[in-house]
Structures are given as C-alpha cells and as structure tokens.
Structure 1
C-alpha cells in the first residue's frame, strides 16, 4: 500500500501564528503568574485545544467570565466591541487574529463607512463570520446559498467579501448572482491562499489515488470543504477522521494507493500518526 500526502496540508500561516502566540504567552508568563485564556477555542482542533489546556490555557466563552489576566483572541478574529470591552475591564488582550481575517475586517469597516451594504459569503454561525460582521455594526447580509440571496432587496451600493475557508467555486457562483442585486458592486475574493492551495492539492491527489483520508476537526470549516472536494472525486472512498484511532482499517486493505490531506488547523503530529498507522498495515 502506497501513501501519498497532499502537497499542501496541515497548519496554515494564521493557525501556526496563533499557536506560537499562545505558547509564547505561556513562556512569558512563568514569572508573572497571570491566568491565560482564549476567547473560544484557539483553533478548531480538539486535540490541540486539549494540549493548550494542559499547558494552562483555559477556554472561555465571553469576557464576562474573567476580571483580569490575559485573553488571547483566536485566529478566527472577533467583533470590534470585544476590544472595547477588554479596554474597559482592563484585560490584557493578545491578538492572534489571522492576517487574512484581519484584512476582511478592515475591508468591511472601510466600505461600511463609505455607505456600502456589506455582503459576507459564508456560514453565519462560524466565528470568523460573526467577528467580521461585528466590524460593520452587525448589519451585513450573510449568504451561503442562492435562497439566502433572494432575501436581499435590490441595493444601491454593495460590497462583497467571503469567508477565508469557503470554496472558490461557491464564491464565483454566488457573486455572479449577487452582482445583479445592486447598482454599484465591489467584490473582494478574500479566500486565503492557503485555503485555495489545500483545496486544489486535495482535488489533484483525490484523482490519483484509490482512497482519500481527510484529517481534521469535525467542526473545522476548511476541513469540511476538503471532505466535500475529495468526495466529488472519490464519493465512496473518502473518509474524514480526527485522529489515527478513527482510521477505517478494515476498509483500506483492498486498495493500493491512499491519499492523505489535512485541514489548516490539524497539527503535524496528528498527521504523522495517521501516516504511520497506514504504513503499518
């Protein structure tokens, strides 16, 4: 059995930056002895979050849960009002927002001030989208399907951005429809380059192998997109797992080539364990 790993897989720049930021805080905190928190899970990978908790970084859901200490803003970013609350409560805020996400926040803030209606293509419940919306007074139209677009009235001015982990095909499909809903339209393809590279690499690999293993958190948006893409090429032999223990060993024996890809929030050590276990068959 031959195992082939996708050219682009595992931690992206934004996630790696967030992880390093968190561990730097732990190291810098050795003398200060200040409690460290992340506002929501730092990344969408439970194993990585567990490791951070073992090192003393606790997860909180709201700033009201703390009165002091250090709070790390996760890679997904947060609404503008979070910074205001932290300032009022005198909480030490450490910002690990992904630079690609920060770019979108700046775009919607700028164009909202210019009088544009903001449209975000993405999952309305995803923390990245919730955070972006918070930079335009939570007044953005969030769309994920054609049905969502039908609910938008005809507008004078529209600014379109897209969640960093959306598929390019969905972005192109929905923007084509959205452009007919306003007189003046500006659009920004804010899907991050790492996401595009992972998706293209996963599709190319899925065409070459018998089986695809996608490693990543079940709540990770970018991992779910990789699963969808791989299933388009290998509908019956694409498997989504979080750890090596979930490998469908009994289903792999009859195949010659196995492809492995991983979401942007999947640590290298988890990917290595999966590859090692497949190689041991």
Structure 2
C-alpha cells in the first residue's frame, strides 16, 4: 500500500505563530491566562495548553484580573474593549491574515460600503469581522435574497474556498452599482485545498485529519469526498481497518490546526496495516 501525505498538511503560519506566542507567555509571565474560546480548533492541542494553565472561557463575566490572549481567529471589538475596561492585560495572537481581513472589513464600512462577509455564520473569525449591519453569505444561492445597495464591499473568511468566493462575487455584481472586492483568503489554505483535490483524484482513500470544529478541515473533507472515499478523523484510533482493505493508495491531508505528531501518528497506523 502506498501512503502519501499532501504537501503543506498541518500547522499554517497563523496557527504556528499563535502557539509560539502562547507558549512563550505561559513560561515567562504570571497568570491567570484566558482565551475567549479555544486558541485554535484542535482538541488535542487545546487540552495540552489547558494543562499549562491556559483557561478557556465563554465570556468575561467574573474575570477581574489576569491576561486575555486573543485567539488565532480574532475577537469582536466589543469583547476586546470590555477586557480593556476590566483592566486585563491583552496579548494578541490573531493570525495576521485574519487581522488583514478585519481591517479590510472596517475600512469598507468606514467608506460607506455595505459589508458582505463570505463565511460560515457563527464562526469566530466571521464574528470578529462582522458588525450589526453586515451581511453574511455562505453560498452563491443566498445572494438572491439580499437587497440592492448602491455600494457593496466583500471580504472572505480566510479559510473559504476560492470557488465559493468567486461564485458569490459574481452574483453580487447584480445587486449593486459598485462592488469592491478584497482578497482575504489565505494563500496557504488555498494551496492546501488544491493539494488535497489533486491527492483525492489519485488515491483510493483519503483521510482528513483535524478538529471536528475546524472549518478549514471540514472544507478539505468536502473537497476530497467529491472525488474518492474520504473520512474525517481526529486521531489514528478512529481508523476503521475495513477502510484500508484492498486499497492500493491512501492519501492523508490535514487542516491548518493539526500538529505534525498527529499526522505522523495516522501515517504510521496506515503503513502498519497489512492487506
């Protein structure tokens, strides 16, 4: 059996940077330390950080002191302002690509454009960009339901697929006189999606590794299953031996929040299977 790991699988720059920031703070600073929601969307990594005294909270109620680390997905401005009012120390681990998308969104609204965000409603990154007036779209068909605006500006959740974004932009042109498009999709994520698509066209089976709450991992799964048998797993222990039976080539791809040790664990498990 041939086992191939898609090029670029695992931690992206933004996730690696966030972890480096947090690891340094946990060693050098005094706590308590908090994140509003998980730092990244990977349960195994988050559990490891929690053992080092990084506490995940849902809100700032009752928090009177300590350090708030802004997660890689960013936070809404209101949450950051509240943390400042409470006197918390703030350390920003927002991915620079997410930060750029946030800035683009705010510039569009400041310029009088109706802001449209292409992304998953409820995702923390989308929440960090949105205002009360923002329109959030997940697919091209949803464009039909929105009103006509003289000026519209569009940004994307950084892990969106380029095809979906282009489809929405095409339809938005019918809903406005002026459309300003900001390219905010992460280039590394796009490369990983292309690598996964290529692998899925060649393999008999693809295993996608990553958190079940990870948007970019779920997107890799959707891409791959369009071409071949595909399973989304978090650990090697989830592999069903029946999946590997009579497979000549197995592909492995992983989301941007998946550590290398998890990818290696899955690859070893697959290579150890005897048809």
Indicate whether the TM-score tops 0.5: yes
CA distance in 2, matches of 1:199, 1:65: 41
Could you say which residue in structure 2 is the equivalent of 1:6?
A: 6
Secondary structure of residue in 2 paired with 1:239: strand
Structure 1 unaligned spans of 5+:
none
Secondary structure of residue in 1 paired with 2:18: helix
Offset of residue 249 of structure 1: 1.6
CA offsets 1:200-229 (integer angstroms, 9 cap, x no match): 000111111111010011110000110011
- Equivalent runs, 1:1-281 vs 2, <5 Å: 1-29=1-29, 32=30, 34-133=31-130, 137-234=131-228, 237-281=229-273
Offset of residue 39 of structure 1: 1.2
Secondary structure of residue in 2 paired with 1:112: helix
Offset of residue 184 of structure 1: 1.0
CA offsets 1:216-260 (integer angstroms, 9 cap, x no match): 1111000011001101111xx111101000012222021111100
Q: What is the count of residue pairs matched by the alignment? A: 273
CA distance in 2, matches of 1:216, 1:36: 25
Structure 2 unaligned spans of 5+:
none
Secondary structure of residue in 1 paired with 2:68: strand
Offset of residue 147 of structure 1: 4.3
Greater mean alpha carbon deviation, residues 64-73 or residues 213-222: 64-73
CA distance in 2, matches of 1:155, 1:225: 30
CA distance in 2, matches of 1:26, 1:141: 38
Query: TM-score, normalising length from structure 2?
Result: 0.97
Spell out structure 1 runs of 4+ moving beyond 6 A. Answer: none
Offset of residue 150 of structure 1: 2.3
The RMSD of aligned alpha carbons is 1.1
